Copies of this chain bind each other. A is one copy, B any other.
């Protein structure tokens, strides 16, 4: 029977199959080939899982010459018998009857040749320069499968809980939220843009008739939708043009932002806690092999840290209470703690890892260090903000109850120099049928970073964008 008449099987299906001693067709990429003059063993990966399938080529059937192109990175189609493995380390293997090389990978030039497709021997940093090939390594295969699982778990969680997915705009005409430096989006000719009588660039001639930027958050538009659909979430790319070369910042990253009508701050905290625990639990259940690999390879505390989040009820306390704890802590901090200043990562991690030994939700921050749209507390000094703090990572979620009172919101905007005329549509939600509501933002890469245990945010997104880097 020619190979094409058989349906291709995926490696992960074969590895868990109990239907043995049958003809199978499998296609994938060679991770390694080794053996002796009687038999050759080919480790085949097709991306469906971390593990490779062992293909056994008996040299009484295959000439050395016919196998010479079966090198690391080459692609092959293999027809053969799926049988119980005689070797250690795998339950099944394929006794090859026919092997076709689909594409070669010249050992002299293939960048992942030297150490198989594992990252060993090539630093994670060097792999960023070949981001088009790095998904072929065990590490990035694992990270990308976990990233997928988390994205799916997010959609599934919200769908099951009656939330609607809303696509908020990427190109925005307002820069009102002031969450950071923005990228300008334009079709004006860069060399000689049209100019007005006074010599300034005439953005009325630009594609959208005014200056436009890439969004820094979908929250404000999410609120608009929540005022009609009740419970919504966004999940889309957001952008910051900050010239920061750190392991925690990207110029382009994905945000998840639920927004809920009729939710007060405790409701918001309940949701954030249940949501995060569900996501981590999903990853533990669905990505066991990939997580185990990352745990073994990079971070022996990874699985413990994930279980810690699932097992512990989050500790809730106010910012003011946290400051008291930090001020009396025996630990020396690099940055001093004082009421009114933002907490540093070292403070957040102390609370989570040393003091409470569980995830923490801090609430009611001083209004001066939080955004204009957060609901003012009755004391006039704090707002109904909440930050969820995780071990190893610090803040993973930031959110708040929103100010639903038109007058108070306008006053805060004036105080903070947020232009009310640009946000007329946002204010309309408070003008017509306003309701108490809340929401939060989860940086998706922060979540992937936490769940995979990777150290640099550039290694948890397929094609990272940062200063001077927009390759691929």
Which A222-248 residues have C-beta < 8 A from chain B?
A: 224-225, 227-231, 236-237, 239, 241, 243
Most buried by B among A28, A210, A433: A433
CB-CB < 8 A to A435: which residues of B? 27, 75, 102-103
Q: Using A162-B10, A465-B171 as known contacts, say yes or no to A187 and B181 having CB atoms under 8 A apart.
A: yes
Cross-chain contact A164 with B191 (CB below 8 angstroms): no
Chain A residues with a Cβ closer than 8 Å to the other chain, count: 104
- In the complex the two chains form, is B433's CB within 8 Å of A105's CB? yes
CA distance A409 to B272 in the complex (A): 49
Residues in B with CB closer than 8 Å to A400 are: none
- The winner among A155, A200, A241 for most chain B CB atoms within 10 A is A155
Are A73 and B221 interface neighbours, CB within 8 A?
no
Question: Is A470 in contact with B144, judged by CB distance below 8 angstroms?
Answer: no
Picked from B47, B102, B147, B231, the residue with its CB within 8 Å of the CB of A434 is B102
Interface bits A150-192 vs B (CB < 8 Å: 1, else 0)? 0110011001001011111111110000000101111110110
Most chain B beta carbons < 10 A, residue from A47, A145, A210, A428: A47
Residues 425-446 of chain A: 1 if any B CB is under 8 Å from the residue's CB, otherwise 0? 1101111111110000000000
B145-A470 in contact (CB<8A): no
Is B173 a contact partner of A470 (Cβ separation < 8 A)?
yes
Partner of A184, one of B47, B140, B185, B472: B185
Q: Does A23 contact B (CB under 8 A)?
A: no
B contact residues around A10 at 8 Å (CB): 162, 230
Q: Which residues of B contact A61 (CB under 8 A)?
A: none
A169 contact from B155, B210, B463, Cβ within 8 A: B463
Which of B144, B183, B190, B208 meets A225, CB within 8 Å? B144
Shortest C-beta distance, A454 to chain B (Å), equals 16
Return 30 A-B CB contacts under 8 Å, by A number: A8-B262, A27-B435, A46-B262, A48-B230, A102-B434, A103-B433, A132-B425, A132-B426, A133-B428, A140-B228, A144-B166, A147-B165, A148-B159, A151-B165, A152-B165, A167-B254, A167-B461, A168-B463, A170-B170, A170-B214, A171-B183, A171-B251, A172-B470, A184-B190, A186-B190, A208-B467, A208-B470, A209-B467, A221-B462, A236-B236
A193 interface contact, C-beta 8 A: yes
Q: Which residues of A contact B (CB under 8 A)?
A: 8, 10, 12, 27-30, 46-48, 73-75, 102-106, 109-110, 132-133, 135-136, 140-141, 144-145, 147-148, 151-152, 155-156, 159, 162, 164-173, 181, 183-188, 190-191, 193, 200-201, 207-210, 212, 214, 221, 224-225, 227-231, 236-237, 239, 241, 243, 251-252, 254, 261-262, 404, 425-426, 428-436, 461-463, 465, 467-472
Query: Is A165 a contact of B148 with CB atoms below 8 Å?
Result: yes
Smallest CB gap from A154: residue in B: B155
Q: Are A228 and B184 in contact (CB under 8 A)?
A: no
Given known A-B contacts A237-B170, A237-B236, A237-B237, A425 and B48 have beta carbons under 8 A apart = no
CB distance from A353 to the nearest CB of B (A): 30
20 extra A-B contacts, CB within 8 A, seeds A29-B228, A152-B159, A170-B170: A27-B435, A46-B261, A48-B230, A73-B433, A75-B435, A106-B432, A132-B221, A135-B229, A144-B225, A144-B229, A147-B165, A151-B165, A168-B462, A170-B237, A171-B239, A171-B465, A186-B190, A191-B201, A208-B251, A208-B467
